[in-house]
Structure 1
Amino acid sequence: MFFRFVCSLVVVWLISGSDAESCPELPPVDNSVFVAKEMKGQIWGAYFCLKGYHLVGERNLFCNASKEWNASIPKCRLGHCPDPVLVNGEVSALGPVNVSDKITLKCNEQYILKGSNWSQCGEDHTWVPPLPVCRSKHCGPPGYPADGYFEGSDFSSGSTITYKCEKGYRLVGTRDQQCIDGEWNSELPACELIQEPPKPALQIEYEKALVACL
């Protein structure tokens, strides 16, 4: 057995020198360890990336009687995901996060987490599931229905406002709405014009007859 160092590559051979010479020499793969041995007349090898890197390509290779490796040489790529950022929140990671590592996330007081409270660094250097966001527990000003208005000026979590319509209109929808974790709990109501009922036909004919008599 011998060790060969090429840049940050480490190659470990577990086969005899004569067996190794029967197969094409594999090119170095930076930031990896290659382990090879002979099994059932074939030379088998496997690449292992150093900590902080992940493998792209086939891990296991073998060289048969044709003296050819069965797959292309893989690569070891830097395994860090982008630094996780959570505005108005905290992340458990204190430094670079490697592939397959997990982090936890939480929001500051008066903010609520929208999304997952954990995420994992995937092999493609993206966060899975996507990083969440922290939203204020306070609601923004609610909208106004046409020909209507609301009463109330407190939009904090747990507060309530009341919708009303102008004279001649009636409310259709929820009158009272409450702010719950940054969102109003009901859809915006509407104000509909109150239609005056038509006069009965007999009453109209009577009025015409009365005018004729006069």
Structure 2
Amino acid sequence: MGSASTSMLTCTGSNQPSYVIHAEADINEVDCGTPPTVSNAMKTQLDGDTQYGARVRYNCNTGYNINGNDIISCLLNGSWSLPTPSCSLVNCSNPGEPANGYTNDNVFTYQSTVQYHCNEGYQLSGDSSIECTANSNWNNTLPNCALINCTNPGTPTNGARTGVNFFYNSTVSYSCKTGYNLTGAASITCNATGLWSAPAPSCPPVNCGDPGTPDDGSKSSNVYTYNSVVSFQCNSGYSLSGSVSLICLSNGSWNGSVPSCLAGCSDPGVPENGQRQSETFSIDSAVSFTCDTGYTLTGSNSLLCLAGGSWNDTAPTCNPVSCGDPGTPTNGTRNGTVFTFNSTVLYSCDTGYTITGAPFLTCLSNGSWNASVPSCDIVNCDDPGEPTNGMLQGGAFTYNSV
């Protein structure tokens, strides 16, 4: 700037502090010193020195935004231009909360995270947290809070389930069929963990327990559950007194008492289509037999238990009553070759013959047919009459006559 008079000049610039320039001063001697430090920023000296006119640029660190001018200059008064910039944390917008969810976080600046939780009964779907990035955006979308669903708990065998909803707080109830016991919880609830409050129950059959075995006898089965049947028999030389079999009932009890085996004869049995009039087979006891209607007894109608433990005869049989062959009508046929009680025979006539009487017969319990055998009579045609001015030859009007 060269030498001049020693007078002092005051120069006031707009929006700048007043400063004094000594004419003899050399402008190149103005030095602003080390530029100010800005937190969370890096500075770059654009002109390589700190003298008048030198410039410094500030760049904020990642995640920070510049406030003010990013460049300051060295002024004639030996100070850096104002205001000095600052760096403030990047702010993301409030991300909000998912339906049926919430967060306890309320700081939304750079690198802060927002942690999400779901209300009870809802399950988080997606990332549980999001982070504010340097570009003022969140690094992910909001998660969802979906209603918790439990898996189908199923229905037990021989049981039933009431309830078709399996989401949180839903309850299903169970029951068992008659003869089956509910084992486990009668109702279960879907809880907040997505699991049922208890396993589904089962419906095992009612157990009547071992009914026992008669002395000098045996039983047929070791299964004692609902509807199972246990049969009993006596050893040789002993007779059964009581029920030959027991059934396990739905209330867990047997339908009767275990029989006993008494010294005597073995069970002679009951003839098919007949009855026996005693259940006592002890020595000197007798049993008698009868047959159902339509059946006749073949053999002795009573047996006596002898001292040696054997019956005096074999058990009789009940055979169906026979009505005998009813015969076949002339010029007809019969369909059916069994002539015993309740059997039926069917009749039909040859071509040109018509049936007179019942077309079928049934054998009755008294050994007779319910009707007589029908007859097959030749078909008769009406008198055709004589033509006008003509005459009729022949007087027979039956089938095949001319």
The TM-score with structure 2 as length reference comes to 0.25
Higher relative contact order (CA 8 A, sep 6+): 1
More helix by share: 1
Higher strand share: 1
Rg larger in structure: 2
